[in-house]
Amino acid sequence: MTSQSTYVKTEIVGTSDVSISEAINNAIGTASHSLRNLDWFEVIEVRGSIRDGKASSYQVTLKLGLRYDAKA
């Protein structure tokens, strides 16, 4: 994060059958295709599914910080 910047926050959810980290990266990767100036993320919530007594999938809710462009 840089000083004297203005940000907007948006909330997204990423999923993965592998790990929490992959769920985060899936969410950020998908968001980066349509959102510019992504600077930071904050994990809000972690959920998952249980199958056969083990974690079988992960769902991570994130807030993303998008930096506003300064007008030239």
CA–CA separation, 18 vs 69, rounded Å? Answer: 35
Block mean pLDDT (10 aa), the chain, length 72 = 80 97 98 95 97 97 91 64
What is the pTM assigned to this prediction?
Answer: 0.85
Return the CATH fold of 7-67: Dodecin subunit-like (3.30.1660)
CA–CA separation, 42 vs 32, rounded Å? Answer: 15
What single letter denotes the amino acid at residue 33? H
DSSP H/E element including 16: strand 7-16
Joined together, the tokens standing for residue 32 give: 């980066």
Q: How is the chain split into domains, by residue range?
A: 7-67
